[in-house]
Amino acid sequence: MKLSFRWYGRQDEIPLAYIRQIPKMEAIVTAVYDVPVGEVWPEESIMDLKKQVEENSLKFEVIESIPVHEDIKLGKPERDRYIENYCENIRRVAKAGVKCICYNFMPVFDWTRTQLDHRLPDGSTTLVYYQEQVDQVNPLETKSDLTLPGWDASYDRDELRSVVEEYHRLSEEDLWDNLEYFLKRIIPVAAECDVNMAIHEDDPCWSMFGLPRMITDEKNLDRFLKIVDDKHNGITLCTGSLGCSGYNDVVKMATKYAAMGRIHFVHMRNVKILDNGFEERAHPSSCGSLDMYAIAKALYENGFDGYIRPDHGRMIWGETGRAGYGLYDRALGASYLNGLWEAIEKNERGEKKE
Ligand code: DNO
């Protein structure tokens, strides 16, 4: 595994100099954040990120995300221009040394939670998803002032309403067709540049606000990988996104897709599944519903050698900042991953000797 850490560029309050002090930290996961979705990233911005990362002895090899314009997902006539821009972005970051690009194909809303600072019994705060709170939200209602994290803040309420309405006219099969159209054009470019595309699962992995969602379970991941059967068309295995629903067997998925060589990036996060949703928890297995050891072991045993990052952390030790993306708990997560990995590796080597 290549240990990595998400960093939001110059606007991130966490200095790269701190991130490099996390033991075994290798690579930074970042993006150009000041260009509107769908447009081409200036080469100077890409090179500026690379320079900052490398000056701190870290590698600039993973982008999360190059966002996909809604016109592509909706299959609108303008999509060809946006796909061409997307291909150009792949070429540009590849030229700067990037090896892996994470993205998602979720209609309108990226990841969704209902509260960002839910207090756990130990006094830390975390992100949670409670269904009854989601049920009270109608993103189409002008009166509703609720916005959820991860939502594209560039839409005003009316624009949001009109995009959501366009999706309501689209079936899940239409969305699959639009994904296929996109993949068939971008994967050959990624292959040419030898960059691994790694789609992120829908988070949470079920339909929201009546909108179609596709990248949610094993059946659909199988279907996704077959659309373009090339290793450059791969996935980000996000344990928390898949694992917040009891019907996904994350260990089985880690085993299967790592063995196929199609997992290029892993987001390691533990969640506690509840009757009415889930809570994000600290990384160790006993803190949530996922067996993090079994997932890491499945990855190791099946030859995973891609990038891995501790996903969201709680806010601990009085830290404030971007929900899910503080330094302290993610650093603890990274250390936990290092420990798991060392134990698995040594155990495995020992077993081989016998
Ligand atoms: C949440 C993240 C997602 C992810 C995108 C990838 O914290 O995991 O926002 O970056 O879905 O495109």
Q: Give yes or no for a contact between 153 and 147, defined as CB atoms under 8 angstroms apart.
A: yes
What number is the average pLDDT over the span 335-346? 97
Predicted confidence at residue 163, as pLDDT, reads 85
SS3 track for 111-166: CCCCEEEEECCCCCEEEEEEHHHHHCCCCCCCCCCCCCCCECCCCCHHHHHHHHHH
Least confident interval from 18-27, 94-103, 138-147, 263-272: 138-147
Clarify whether 205 is annotated catalytic.
no
Percent helix / strand / coil, the chain, rounded to 5: 40, 20, 40
Report how far ligand 1's centroid is from the alpha carbon of 348 (Å).
Answer: 32
Report how far ligand 1's centroid is from the alpha carbon of 312 (Å).
Answer: 10
Alpha carbon of 272 to those of 89, 129, 277, 280: distances in Å?
A: 37, 10, 9, 6
Burial of residue 135 (number of CB atoms within 10 Å: 0-12, 13-18, 19+): exposed
What span, in angstroms and rounded, lies between the C-alpha atoms of 175 and 163? 14
Per-residue b or e along 222-247, where b marks 16 or more CB atoms closer than 10 Å to that residue's CB: eebbebbebbbbbbbbbbbbbbbeee
Q: Report the atom number in ligand 1 closest to the C-alpha of 238.
A: 8
Mean pLDDT of the chain: 93
Predicted confidence at residue 147, as pLDDT, reads 63
* Among 108, 211, 230, CA closest to 168: 211
Instruction: Determine the residue of 33, 103, 104 to mutate for testing ligand 1's pocket, defined as the one with the most ligand atoms within 8 A of the Cβ atom.
Output: 104
Q: Report the atom number in ligand 1 closest to the C-alpha of 203.
A: 11
Instruction: Determine the residue of 8, 65, 271 to mutate for testing ligand 1's pocket, defined as the one with the most ligand atoms within 8 A of the Cβ atom.
Output: 65
What span, in angstroms and rounded, lies between the C-alpha atoms of 93 and 57? 19
Report how far ligand 1's centroid is from the alpha carbon of 64 (Å).
Answer: 7
pLDDT (tens digit, 9 = 90+) per residue, 184-220?
999 999 999 999 999 999 999 988 888 888 999 999 9
Residue type, 4: S
Clarify whether 267 is annotated catalytic.
yes
pLDDT (tens digit, 9 = 90+) per residue, 294-328?
999 999 999 999 999 999 999 999 999 999 999 99
Confidence tier at 243 by pLDDT (50, 70, 90): very high
How many CA within 13 A on the CB side of residue 145? Answer: 0
Q: Ligand 1 pocket, 105 CB below 6 A?
A: no
Residue in the block written with tokens 């290549």: 2
Q: Ligand 1 pocket, 216 CB below 6 A?
A: no
Q: Ligand 1 pocket, 261 CB below 6 A?
A: no
pLDDT surpasses 70 at 152: no
Residue in the block written with tokens 């506690």: 272
Q: Give yes or no for a contact between 16 and 320, defined as CB atoms under 8 angstroms apart.
A: no
pLDDT (tens digit, 9 = 90+) per residue, 10-35?
999 999 999 999 999 999 999 999 99
Predicted confidence at residue 4, as pLDDT, reads 98
pTM score, whole prediction: 0.95
Instruction: Determine the residue of 63, 102, 214, 312 to mutate for testing ligand 1's pocket, defined as the one with the most ligand atoms within 8 A of the Cβ atom.
Output: 102
Report how far ligand 1's centroid is from the alpha carbon of 200 (Å).
Answer: 7
Predicted confidence at residue 140, as pLDDT, reads 67
What number is the average pLDDT over the span 68-96? 97
pLDDT (tens digit, 9 = 90+) per residue, 250-304?
999 999 999 999 999 999 999 999 999 999 999 999 999 999 999 999 999 999 9
Report how far ligand 1's centroid is from the alpha carbon of 61 (Å).
Answer: 17
pLDDT surpasses 60 at 111: yes
CB atoms within 10 A of CB 87: 18
Contacts of 221 (CB under 8 A, 6+ apart): 201, 215, 235, 253, 257
Alpha carbon of 351 to those of 37, 157, 301, 348: distances in Å?
A: 49, 59, 12, 5
Least confident interval from 77-81, 156-160, 198-202, 320-324: 156-160
Residue type, 50: K
Alpha carbon of 339 to those of 188, 293, 334: distances in Å?
A: 38, 10, 9
What number is the average pLDDT over the span 325-348? 97
What number is the average pLDDT over the span 156-163? 80
Q: Ligand 1 pocket, 64 CB below 6 A?
A: yes
Report how far ligand 1's centroid is from the alpha carbon of 118 (Å).
Answer: 20
Confidence tier at 112 by pLDDT (50, 70, 90): confident
